[in-house]
Amino acid sequence: MKKKKILVIHGPNLNLLGQREPHIYGRTTLAEINRQLKKISRQLNAALTIVQSNYEGKIVDLITASKGKFHGILINPAAYTHTSVAIRDAILSCGVPTVEVHLSNIYCREEFRHHSLISPVAKGTIMGFGAKSYLLGLEALLNLIDLS
């Protein structure tokens, strides 16, 4: 079976994982998460392109350019989850199946985090399992693509 091409997007401040609020996000670094993602992607016959950006416009451009190039998008929009109409619109307009992930459970945190602008345009959302959210999200995304 042909390899599934997946675009993985890490949003703002996720480059600081490991040092950033470890009581919330854990001690696993982004490099370690990416290593684990690549490991399971080999088992699941997927090819990953992984990008981290602190810039909303860059994330919008990546999503827009993913049409026709990727079978799916795995995204942790981080703080843009709660603010970005632009990222939401890009996901809608590119039509590439997207799974949203979060390390923390946003509903157990401050009220301003309780609303995601991304969830209504994502195929599904996985949150609250730390670094494991990404691995579960990748598996779920690949299952979904296989079914479609």
The catalytic residue positions are 25, 102
106 lies in the site for ligand DQA, by CB under 6 A: yes
Stretch that binds ligand DQA, among 43-51, 55-63, 96-104, 138-146 (CB under 6 A): 96-104
List the interface residues with ligand DQA, window 63-82 (CB under 6 A). Answer: 76, 78-79, 81
Q: What Å distances lie between residue 98 and 1, 23, 74, 94, CA to CA?
A: 21, 28, 6, 10
What track of x and - describes contact with ligand DQA for positions 108 through 137 (by CB under 6 A)? -----x------------------------
Nearer to ligand DQA, 5 or 113 (CB): 113
Instruction: Give the side-chain half-sphere CA count within 13 A for 132.
Output: 4
Q: What is the layout of strands, in order, in the sheet containing 4-10? A: 46-52, 4-10, 72-76, 98-102, 124-127
From CA 116, how far away is CA 22, in angstroms rounded? 22
Site string for ligand DQA, 9-48 (x = CB under 6 A): ----x-----------------------------------
Contacting residues for 24 by C-beta, under 8 A, at least 6 apart: 103, 104, 109
Strand partners, 125: 100
- Interface residues toward ligand DQA, by CB under 6 A: 13, 76, 78-79, 81, 102-104, 106, 113
